[in-house]
Amino acid sequence: MAVNLDKDAYYRRIKRLYGNWKKAEDEFGKVDAIVVSVGVDEEIVYAKSTAIQTWLFGYELTDTIMVFCDTKIIFLASKKKVDFLKQVAITKGNENANGVPPITLLTREKNESNKANFDKMIEAIRGSKEGKTVGIFSKDKFPGEYMKSWNDTISAEGLEKVDISAVVAYTMAVKEDGELSLMKKAATITSEVYSKFFKERVMEIVDADEKVRHSKLAESVEKAIEEKKYLGGADPSTVEMCYPPIIQSGGNYSLKFSVVSDKNHMHFGAITCAMGIRYKSYCSNLVRTLMVDPPQEMQDNYNFLLQVEEELLKELKHGVKISEAYNAVLEYVKKEKSDLVAKLTKNLGFAMGIEFREGSLVLNAKNQYKLKKGMVLSISLGFADLVNKEGKKDEQKKYALFIGDTIQINEEEAATILTPVKKKIKNVGIFLKNDDEEDEEEEGDDAEELLGKGARSAALLADRTRVSSDERMTAEEKRRAHQKELANHLNEEAKRRLTEQKGEQQIQKARKSNVSYKNVSQMPREKDIREMKIFIDKKYETVVMPVFGIATPFHIATIKNISMSVEGDYTYLRINFYVPGSSLGRQEGNIFPNPDATFVKEITYRASNLKAPGDPSVPSTNLQNAFRIIKEVQKRYKTREAEEKEKEGIVKQDSLVINLNRSNPKLKDLYIRPNIAQKRMQGSVEAHTNGFRFTSVRGDKVDILYNNIKHAVFQPCDGEMIIVLHFHLKNAIMFGKRRHTDVQFYTEVGEITTDLGKHQHMHDRDDLYAEQMEREMRHKLKSAFKNFIEKVETLTKEELEFEVPFRDLGFQGAPYRSTCLLQPTSSSLVNVTEWPPFVVTLDEVELVHFERVQFHLKNFDVVIVYKDYSKKVTMINAVPVNSLDPIKEWLNSCDIKYTEGVQSLNWTKIMKTIVDDPEGFFEQGGWSFLDPESEGDGAEEDSESEMEDETFNPSADEEEEEEEDSDEDYDSETEDSNYSASVGSEEESGKDWDELEEEARRADRESQYEDEDTSNNKKRKVRSEPPPPPSKKKRRH
């Protein structure tokens, strides 16, 4: 199969090379011809001669000599390579070849002299310009007789040699779009290998306290690039290491890329890792320092190093001299921490491309070259020989900090990082617990430590499930002690907060008074009014009716409803008005500006259906038209009012700043919830300078600003049928004529519906193939979403961070109509896969109360009380009782007070009592009334059965509400109905067969309980009698 050569790329690049040569700047001005000769040497990885071949042709051509003259180009190569080069030598009919010198191809002779060909090339050099000097790459020296005889020929001719490595490197340094995409891919692969393999491996080594040599760990990284799962979908044959990975720790550090990993064991202190991956001949580089239990001084120095890198990125722009950027960073270090100037690395990076390190474009104080847009650099900066004052052993006393990234130079903005691997302390610090400290830390365990990112949370969770009963008792006692402290703090804090808020009473809004006409002149002068007929004025939304012979205007807002009926020869039109005492709607109440005035409740008009002689029309036509038009105007008015109500309290958002850069992070083929229109539509989400923009296929736009996002949650597709990016907003935004505080973008992963008509074998080839395809689809989507998130976090400098729910800590519950999996994140409790979504911010939670916690019940309810007591409490029903202990453990670790009880409480009344008289509430002990010790056992069953009825038999009010507005599932009216008295229902408290059998077996073993069991069975048969309350011994705490 013939190898294709990208002709367009060759013509573009050869024109650029000749264009720079003709400018005659620097060394280009001193040469009459350029000679590039490449021999065979397996040991040479990077050479300018092979780099220019790859740049021009996409391949390395061994044993090939290229001579670039003023008016012609000559290639001397073997027959196969000459056939390959014919693709660019034949320029007939190719427009791109204009301005490119013609190519002469010479085939290399089999004997080693090649004198005739050499003579032709020397003749061409002599004819180019003055024919005295040739530009060469002086560092490139290939072995072999063929190369030696060519070099001897040039020397024999007395041609002067000039090294043009620097100017050619500068020509190749500005990357085209195609080259940039390859380098971005290389950077992405490097990031993936570091994050998914190296970092995880170091975490395993530290967790298991393994002894691993640096050299062995470096070898394992080299082997990892053979596995496709670390390569982001790239073909392993196109991927290679730029250099062997460099891993250093234990006081022996050399912050260069020419060193190799030594054979010492990895020390758990500052661990530096440098690795670079080459993809399709283009390089990338990444440097990170992982720190195990770093002391505060080390953390401070590391944070400063991050700031220095930020400064460097700001300085690296198009048109800036390299030396100026270096000196600006040096001045910053002198100004902020002058003692670290001597410790800073001598250079801060270098240009990179086909060659890993471009020696002529190093970031140091002497380099006078200017940066250009499109250049890609590897920046690497660190502090060496730092002293750890807390270190006791030799390997602990000295440490180094080293970070580096692959970056792209922009026109006016700061340079863009192409390796978006997080590098804040919380991402690179590994914090271990000593056995001595564990007891102390268990009490004040912070949520972030329990829910810390990475594998350690899972390890911690596993440890907590493998404890003996004695240890579990100790943990329970500690939990209680911690909860007691939280209770005291909670009451004091709440009392202080409520005292400050006193006096800020809510002003109840009076119902808007709609005036039809401000003066008589606005009254219409229509014929119908003069004829004492009903007239509808659409402009002022008013119905003018004859009352005792006087035309009287009524605004459409005063009309409750209208009805029309035909009885015999007459048509009746009945109009009902809003009056004090009639229902105005759930949220409005009976609020009138003048409730003591006299109101008209209803008016009925009658008109004949018979046409009298001389009448132009039937009299009842007026009533029929009035009925139709009033309905229309009423509908229009109500729609407008609803829209205005939605807009009330909407905070005006900043405008989205559009970034016209094509490389913006973007996700395509997503759906938005809630829907913009009735039918769901696909679209794409793009991250801009200060926010996201979702654009549907229809052209609808929804903007979400970064500063308005309270929680950004990424729900992976593990165990779910959809993959979700969910945004819980600080202030509601308007779209689709509704206000929304929760917006999510999702895509489906596989079939949500299953074809039950399929009667196929489980190992059917089609089914196995479909499963494999779904697995691949899941992996692909997960990678795309993670890549998007990493880019967004880099773009926002990690001001916006996505939280991932901890599935291991999740529990089942029903916050709305259906049961779903509720999962904690580092700062919230969420379920984003079901709609409506459930998001509770932990910082806003005052306390959590568990209701109906009884020994014989399978489920209990969770009530979340907020610090803002005017906010309605959140209820999660039907939580399985086996989740009680894990939930308590989680809440305790988050420093959230919890209580439990057997009764269901009327929270509407409780919260109203607290808000009305906070001082009285806290004088009586505050929230201590929820503690189990202060509860009586009476009326437990009544309240429990009352809750059961309400849970499983939604009232008519609730059904009506669901029809009216699915988003507003629960309001105060519904909540009140939850606590209405109902007859004792024991459906859930009744035991199933397994429990009854277990009870019978226990009864046989323990004869002393026989009588008690018999009486219990009798009581279960007689359903009208409630069972006895559980004894103290059986109640769970």
386, 399 Cβ separation under 8 angstroms? yes
Total number of residues shown for the chain: 1037
Per residue in 614-653, pLDDT (tens digit) is: 778 888 999 999 999 999 999 888 888 877 776 666 677 7
**Closest to 135 in 3D by CA, of 42, 63, 34, 22:** 34
Instruction: Note if the bond before 1028 is cis, omega within 30 degrees.
Output: no
Residue 557 pLDDT more than 80? yes
Provide the sign of the torsion angle of the four alpha carbons 442, 445, 451, 452, taken in this order.
negative
Distance CA 186, CA 240 (A): 10
Residue 951 pLDDT more than 60? no
Pairing of strands 802-803, 709-715: parallel
Q: How confident is the model at residue 438 (pLDDT cuts 50, 70, 90)?
A: very low
Residue 509 pLDDT more than 50? no
Residue 919 pLDDT more than 90? no
Q: What mean pLDDT do residues 930-950 have?
A: 46
pLDDT at 663: 80
Q: Which range (434-438, 768-772, 896-900, 982-986) has the least confidence? A: 982-986
List 643's β-bridge partners, or say none.
none
Per residue in 567-624, pLDDT (tens digit) is: 999 999 999 998 887 655 544 445 577 777 888 999 999 999 988 887 788 889 999 9
Per residue in 334-391, pLDDT (tens digit) is: 999 999 999 999 999 999 999 999 999 999 999 999 999 999 999 999 999 999 888 8
pLDDT at 393: 83
Distance CA 209, CA 189 (A): 29
Give the residue, 469 or 811, on which the prediction is more confident.
811
Q: What mean pLDDT do residues 913-936 have?
A: 78
User: Is the backbone of residue 374 left (phi > 0), alpha (psi -120 to 50) or beta?
Assistant: left
Distance CA 245, CA 492 (A): 56
The residue written with tokens 């027959």 in the block is: 79
**Amino acid residing at 688:** H
Q: How confident is the model at residue 990 (pLDDT cuts 50, 70, 90)?
A: low
pLDDT at 13: 92
pLDDT at 767: 74
Radius of gyration in angstroms for the set of CA atoms belonging to the chain, rounded to a whole number: 40
Pairing of strands 874-880, 897-900: unpaired
pLDDT at 572: 95
Distance CA 872, CA 509 (A): 19
pLDDT at 946: 40
Percent of the chain with pLDDT over 70: 81
Per residue in 518-555, pLDDT (tens digit) is: 888 888 888 888 888 899 998 888 999 999 889 999 99
pLDDT at 772: 85
The number of CA neighbours under 13 Å toward the Cβ of 634 is 17
Q: Where are the alpha helices (DSSP H) in 604-655?
A: 621-647
Own/partner pairs, 172-175, CB within 8 angstroms, 24+ separation: 172/51, 172/52, 172/55, 172/353, 172/354, 173/351, 173/353, 173/358, 173/361, 173/372, 173/375, 174/372, 174/373, 174/374, 174/375, 175/353, 175/374, 175/375, 175/376
157, 239 Cβ separation under 8 angstroms? no
Residue 463 pLDDT more than 80? no
Tokens of 659: 């970034």
Per residue in 1015-1027, pLDDT (tens digit) is: 444 443 333 344 4
Per residue in 51-64, pLDDT (tens digit) is: 999 999 999 999 99
Distance CA 563, CA 571 (A): 11
Tokens of 401: 């900090």
Residue 444 pLDDT more than 60? no
User: What do you get for the CA distance between the two ends of the chain, in Å?
Assistant: 76
pLDDT at 932: 66
What pTM value is reported for the model? Answer: 0.57
Tokens of 963: 């029809």
Q: What mean pLDDT do residues 667-683 have?
A: 91
pLDDT at 437: 44
DSSP secondary structure, 958-992, as one string: HHHHHHH-SS----HHHHHHHTS------TTTS--
SS3 360: strand
Query: Cα–Cα distances in Å, from 382 out to 190, 349, 874?
Result: 20, 11, 50
Distance CA 468, CA 473 (A): 9
pLDDT at 483: 87
Q: What mean pLDDT do residues 450-467 have?
A: 39
Residue 252 pLDDT more than 80? yes
pLDDT at 1015: 43
**Amino acid residing at 356:** F
Q: What are phi and psi of 989, to 5 degrees?
A: -70, -20
SS3 529: helix
Q: What are phi and psi of 875, to 5 degrees?
A: -115, 135
Within 10 angstroms of residue 72's Cβ, the number of other Cβ atoms is 15
Per residue in 71-116, pLDDT (tens digit) is: 999 999 999 999 999 888 876 655 556 678 899 999 988 766 688 8
pLDDT at 365: 93
- Quote the Cα angle for 941-922-492, to 5°: 115
Distance CA 920, CA 926 (A): 9
